[in-house]
Amino acid sequence: MMKMILIAIFALLIMALLFFRFLLSPQAEKQWNYIDFKTLKLKESPNQYLVCSKEHCSAEYQREAKIYSCSVSELKAAWENAISLLPNTRLLGEDTQLTQQVYIDYSKIWHFPDFIYVQFYELPDNRSSMAVYSYSVYGYSDFGVNKKRVEKILSSIRACHQLVFRSEN
């Protein structure tokens, strides 16, 4: 009897995996659109992570965006190099006028989709910054996955010398 219960549970897990991987995940790729970081409203759930500055976001961000001593094109190239190292991530779209890119990242086992938005900002004196917003499409909690992913990408950006945090003036 116990063996039958375990087989039934295993079968349900396999069906759930197939449901998420082949039915829900492809639908997520159709749900994105470019965002306006200035008017972005965060969800009430904790399954998101925002890196921004008061100049570019009205929402309460979890980390202050850094200023880099390089042009937007150099920072963008460094970002693209860093995000290309993530195995289940791909570019969905790019708006060159906004200097915004949208990526989708899938969790390894369940194939849950997360969106990653990045927008680059040109600053005076050949400096630049960016806003990054990553969030889970499904669920309430992400166990810190979005934060870890964004922090991993940001820590991999080595081409631009990173300057100090913005002041809170």
Average of per-residue pLDDT across 58-66: 96
Dmax (CA) for the chain in angstroms is 72
- With respect to residue 59, please indicate whether it lies within any of the assigned structural domains: yes
Structural domains in the chain (count)? 1
Could you tell me if residue 121 is inside a domain?
yes
CB atoms within 10 A of CB 128: 22
Structural domain contains residue 4: no
The tokens of 28 are what?
Answer: 């997520």
User: 57: which 2 tokens?
Assistant: 């976001």
**Residue 45 maps to a domain:** yes
What CATH number does residue 103 fall under? 3.30.310.80
Question: Three-state DSSP class for 91?
Answer: strand
The residue with tokens 């991999």 is 156
- Residue 12 belongs to some domain of the structure: no
Does 14 map to a domain? no
pLDDT digits (tens, 9 = 90+) for 149-160: 999 999 999 767
The parent domain of residue 60 ranges over 32-165
| Paired tokens of 148 | 């870890």
Alpha carbons 13 and 18: distance in angstroms, whole number = 9
What is the tens place of the pLDDT at every residue in 114-129? 999 999 999 999 999 9
User: Is 26 a domain residue?
Assistant: no
Q: Any bridge partners for residue 138, and if so which?
A: none
